[in-house]
A and B are shown apart, each in its own frame.
Chain A
Amino acid sequence: MATFLRRTCRLHQQMSGARRYIQRHSLRFVSTSDKKESNLSIPFTPEDIADETKRKELHKRLEEHFKDEDLNSPKNRIPYGYEENVPEVDKFNYHTVWWFWFVIPVIVGIAIFNFSLNDYGLRSWSEREARLVMEEREKKGLPYVAKNYIDPSKIELPSEEDIEAWDVKIKI
């Protein structure tokens, strides 16, 4: 029994270790992008920088790559990301996306939110309501603003004896 348990635990440990090893060392994504094999980029690894000889080689490769400083050459073109092969279409798409996603929403949004929202902040409602209340109070002969919202003579408060019988809880 003890041997069986020991063997099972060891097997479980080995399986967990194997699973952790596979998870750590397996690739999650495989890129099929053509950009990986493109000669427009210089690949490097951390060893290329750490080791002095390899760093010098990397410098040489970079100098060779950037020798031609003509910004208009196809090698030095920085694509916008919309079209790899035709620069004009790439630039056009970039500009159209910015037009439809920034210029139009900002202009239309500002126009709508600042000029045409339906009674934003209830301002026109409150002005109408104030005028109606003022008219009503003028007819009754009352001042526009009074200290008491309700006429104190109309309030009926319970007597002290009534309050004593009630269980009043005050929550702070």
Chain B
Amino acid sequence: MGLLILMALNCFCVMFLNKKDQTVAVVNCFGVWSAFSLMYWGGSGVSRESLSELFCVDIYSSSMISLSLWICGISILVSSCMTNLRGVFNSYLILVTLLCFLLVQCFMVNTLAMFYVLFESTLIPLASIIGIWGGQIERVPSIQYMAAYTVGGSFPLLLIFTTMEVHAGSSFMWFISMKTTSLNWLFWGGCFLGLLIKLPAFPFHAWLPKAHVQAPVGGSVILAGILLKLGGYGITRMMMLFSYTLESFGILVMSFSIVGSVYGAFMCLRQSDIKKLIAYSSVSHMAFSIMGLFSCTEVGMVGAYIMLVSHGFISPGLFVLSGINSEMVHSRKIKVMSDGVRAAPSLGFFWLVMIMANLGVPPCPVIISEVLSVVCVIALYPWVFVLLLMYFILSGAYSFSLYCQLTRTKKKIKMKVFFNEVTLKDMSALYFLFYPLAEVLFKWDLWAMM
């Protein structure tokens, strides 16, 4: 609650600054809010500061809250190219701050009904961001896809929460516990479909590449960094409700996610558009989170959350880099972007670091989550290792291919490139997205304390 009051007070103070100073002031506020949100982290259970009548925050919520504040601040920091594009930039600040406000509340609320309302309400600011600052005319169908998938998929969830409120009198998630032994896949599907679409899980991922391609840099950063994690968080809370008794439905979802990881990696191999490639790599990484979450084991939950948090830093980093690079050469094609890397060789180094982090090269925490998720899945069905091996080979292949295309392409297209297109501000944003991974690496067992 204190965090929300602090956010409201800071926003009120920022309103009285000059329009030019408001951008940096809001960015700095997000840094302060992120530091403040660290108080909510509890080593085990909940902390004294994280409990109130309306909100209760444990390790899963607090990690997502800190991530939301960090990512929303970064999205404003990297959106300077949008000041010249169209519209009023201050409205972008308002939309991102509103979106962050909704996200923080979403991760803090005690009742599932409020969680659903806030979950759906995050769609409106994001659709506005894509609609106003999106690159091309195709942004309209991409918003339609995103809205249809999200709202349509989560409508059964609304029915379930409404039924829960009517019959049980409350949807207070910390007290409700349902044990069901009857196999009713319609019920399980209704509970998890909307959340799986948000993650996104194969085969409900079609909206994500379209949304990412049409979104501006800041929109892609928020979408990849935190909005996808809403699905993972929701699944965690639903699991708590059902006391981890999914059984066959969990195995079905895990099977789809294993295939989805291989599919996502394969699609990355054949992409020429950098944003689509990063979107499909998100699909394959989120598949590992799904495997961990639906394994109904503690090891799986730890692996899933480490992936969610690490991916929340790495994927926005890739989008920031693609934004910097594509702004230099005015194209999203990977081979054309190599001209930008040739003009600013430091970009080649940043691409290498981010691609390696995305691949899961130690000491990046992604390797920990991949190992834990693989352990969970193989404990159930050892033969699944064949598919996972295919995934690891394909992910190495597309990462290597991406780096080679960015740095070693023979020049066929003549492009004009300027040296001063890469600013220290963008480099700072990349660094701010990378250094928190060290904290995730050293304190990865925090998520194992529940």
Name A residues whose Cβ lies closer than 8 Å to a Cβ of B: 27-36, 38, 40-47, 78-83, 93-94, 96-102, 104-105, 108-109, 112-113, 117-122, 125
Contacts and interface: CB of A to CB of B under 8 A. Distances in A.
B424 interface: yes
Contact of B28 (A27, A97, A119): A97
A82 B136 CA distance: 27
B237 interface: no
Contacts of B41: 112-113, 117
Given A81-B424, A113-B443, A44 B331 contact: no
A41 B418 contact: yes
Interface residues of B, number: 52
Contact of A41 (B38, B43, B84, B420): B420
Contacts of A101: 27-28, 31, 73, 428, 432
Given A29-B135, A118-B43, A120-B43, A93 B31 contact: no
A45 B415 contact: yes
Contacts, number: 132
A45 B416 contact: yes
Given A97-B28, A102-B432, 11 more contacts: A28-B326, A42-B419, A43-B417, A45-B415, A46-B411, A78-B420, A80-B424, A82-B24, A105-B35, A108-B38, A117-B43
Interface string B38-53: 1101111111100000
A117 B445 CA distance: 13
A77 to B, nearest CB: 10
> 10 nearest interchain CB pairs?
A81-B423, A81-B425, A120-B43, A100-B31, A118-B42, A100-B28, A117-B43, A101-B31, A108-B35, A118-B47
A98 B34 CA distance: 14
Contacts of B415: 45-46
A35 B420 contact: yes
B381 interface: no
A33 to B, nearest CB: 5
A44 B416 contact: yes
SS of B interface (majority):
helix
Given A97-B24, A121-B43, A35 B424 contact: no
B16 interface: no
Contact of B330 (A27, A42, A47): A27
20 contacts: A27-B330, A28-B331, A35-B418, A42-B419, A45-B414, A45-B415, A45-B416, A79-B424, A81-B423, A81-B424, A94-B428, A97-B425, A100-B31, A117-B47, A118-B42, A118-B45, A119-B45, A120-B43, A120-B44, A120-B446
Given A35-B421, A44-B416, A104-B32, A121 B445 contact: yes
B252 to A, nearest CB: 22
B12 interface: no
A100 B27 CA distance: 9
A108 B40 CA distance: 12
